[in-house]
Chains A and B, each alone.
Chain A
């Protein structure tokens, strides 16, 4: 009990530092403990503006790791396709931002708040706009379900999260606590998400692509292509390491997609528009 009182008192000290009175004579310990819990919860719940600020920091880090492909036409194209997909989701008004990274690695990344990046190495493996849409929709789903925020919460030290106050996130990105969170957030890409989050993003991705009017089988087609790549090549190392086995992902999609897309099966894949937009003309 004594220890508990000490903990509560310490926490209260932290939470009430600006308060002038330090009279502990009549403290209701039970109530105080509840207050502490509430303060902690408030501090670890990340609201949407905070999510966007954090995502912006993480996206800046990703762009520090790999530059943006210097091809305005391709960047605009991917943004048009991606933005259309987001309009079919439950978070259409986030500041959605898409980008192609100038890197040979085969990978894609989503950051909180609506940032989605794919590498040119992955783009080059695709054969239609429906395939691009499937991959973007998978990444969009990570943002919708806040998978990275959860991974950051899981991985970060509790005291770091307790520090996640409005103050830290509103301080123009200069606060060292924000820097720590952003770097924790960037490390999630090296570690990977929970594999159930990946399965969920697959499941949601095919639906979002279908809602947007595309052939829903674009995502499985890309996964199938990736399955044929040499797994010992360094360009696929991180993607393979941080995602569940492609055979498992395809097998789950196979089970769940059967009979669900009877009315969307013959939607267009816009193959010609894809190659044209990327500068390859009509194939």
Chain B
């Protein structure tokens, strides 16, 4: 059994690396036993029901609270704001040294470089940086190989809403 788990980890079969958060329903929402439209409806959650997100599968989010658990349509949920949300606490922020600025957006940005409105308007061209960036461009073949490694299969899907 241990070996099977180790193998699964090795092959990347971990079902989800997804970090959920605290969310609430934004409309009357059916709580389903399984992540399918025709699965059994356990109950209908009223708007503003608070839930804990567990995982996501396509358009479905697995949720729980003290009194229920099941699956709801992901887009019937909105994450609570201004709380420490697990979704933003996945380890990447510290890895990339992304500090929460704590600055209010009305603070005048004084630095020369940066991506604020003023800084973008006054940015100076850096063609050397662009040449450096070009070193990382990949060919069609490399991209196809990497997709195959991830078992991604190209699909034929039409654009939505009459797009081209």
Interface centre among B57, B79, B142, B155 (most CB of A within 10 A): B155
Q: Is the CB of B132 within 8 A of A68?
A: yes
Query: What are the 4 closest A-B residue pairs judged by CB atoms, nearest first?
Result: A213-B152, A271-B17, A237-B105, A228-B79
The B interface is mostly helix, strand or loop, or mixed, namely loop
Q: Which of A50-108 contact B (CB under 8 A)?
A: 56-57, 59-69, 72, 75-76, 79-81, 83-84, 87-88, 90, 92, 95-99, 101, 103-105, 107
Residues of B within 8 A of A87 (CB): 140, 143-144, 154
Interface centre among B99, B161, B164 (most CB of A within 10 A): B161
| Size class of the B contact interface (CB-based, 8 Å) | 35 or more
What are 23 contact pairs spanning A and B, CB under 8 A?
A: A60-B127, A65-B123, A66-B115, A67-B113, A79-B136, A84-B144, A105-B115, A187-B121, A203-B161, A204-B159, A213-B152, A215-B58, A225-B21, A228-B83, A238-B115, A256-B160, A264-B157, A269-B16, A271-B18, A273-B12, A275-B90, A282-B17, A283-B90
Residues of A within 8 A of B80 (CB): 228
B39: interface (CB < 8 Å): no
- In the complex the two chains form, what is the Cα distance from A79 to B143 in whole Å? 8
Q: Is the CB of A182 within 8 A of B125?
A: yes
Residues of A within 8 A of B160 (CB): 203-204, 206-207, 256-257, 260
Q: Which residue of A lies closest to B129 (CB)?
A: A63
- In the complex the two chains form, what is the Cα distance from A254 to B137 in whole Å? 34
Q: Is the CB of B115 within 8 A of A272?
A: no
Q: Is the CB of A228 within 8 A of B87?
A: yes
Interface residues of A (CB under 8 A from B): 56-57, 59-69, 72, 75-76, 79-81, 83-84, 87-88, 90, 92, 95-99, 101, 103-105, 107, 119-121, 123-129, 173, 182, 186-187, 189-190, 200, 203-204, 206-207, 210-217, 220-221, 224-225, 227-238, 241, 247, 250-251, 253-254, 256-258, 260-261, 263-276, 278-280, 282-283
- In the complex the two chains form, what is the Cα distance from A49 to B154 in whole Å? 29
Q: Is the CB of B126 within 8 A of A60?
A: yes
Q: Is the CB of A210 within 8 A of B155?
A: yes
Q: How far is the CB of A184 from chain B (nearest CB, A)?
A: 11
- In the complex the two chains form, what is the Cα distance from A98 to B88 in whole Å? 23
Q: How far is the CB of B156 from chain A (nearest CB, A)?
A: 7
Q: Which residue of B lies closest to A71 (CB)?
A: B96
Q: Is the CB of A211 within 8 A of B156?
A: yes
B33: interface (CB < 8 Å): no
Q: Is the CB of B109 within 8 A of A234?
A: yes
Q: Is the CB of A234 within 8 A of B105?
A: yes
- In the complex the two chains form, what is the Cα distance from A4 to B66 in whole Å? 78
Contacts A227-B81, A271-B18 known; list 10 others, CB within 8 Å.
A57-B125, A60-B125, A61-B126, A64-B126, A80-B142, A83-B142, A87-B144, A207-B158, A254-B75, A268-B152
Cβ contact of B59, chosen from A61, A119, A213, A217, cutoff 8 A = A217
A213-B147, A225-B87, A270-B150 known; A186 vs B79 contact (CB < 8 Å) = no
A64-B129, A234-B105 known; A186 vs B121 contact (CB < 8 Å) = yes
A67-B129, A228-B85, A266-B58 known; A280 vs B92 contact (CB < 8 Å) = yes
Q: Which of B95-111 contact A (CB under 8 A)?
A: 95-96, 98-105, 107, 109
Q: How far is the CB of A187 from chain B (nearest CB, A)?
A: 6
B74: interface (CB < 8 Å): yes
Interface centre among A68, A187, A224 (most CB of B within 10 A): A224
Residues of B within 8 A of A79 (CB): 136-138
Residues of B within 8 A of A107 (CB): 115
Residues of A within 8 A of B139 (CB): 83
Q: Which residue of B lies closest to A222 (CB)?
A: B87
Q: Is the CB of A228 within 8 A of B133?
A: no
Cβ contact of A224, chosen from B77, B100, B123, B137, cutoff 8 A = B77
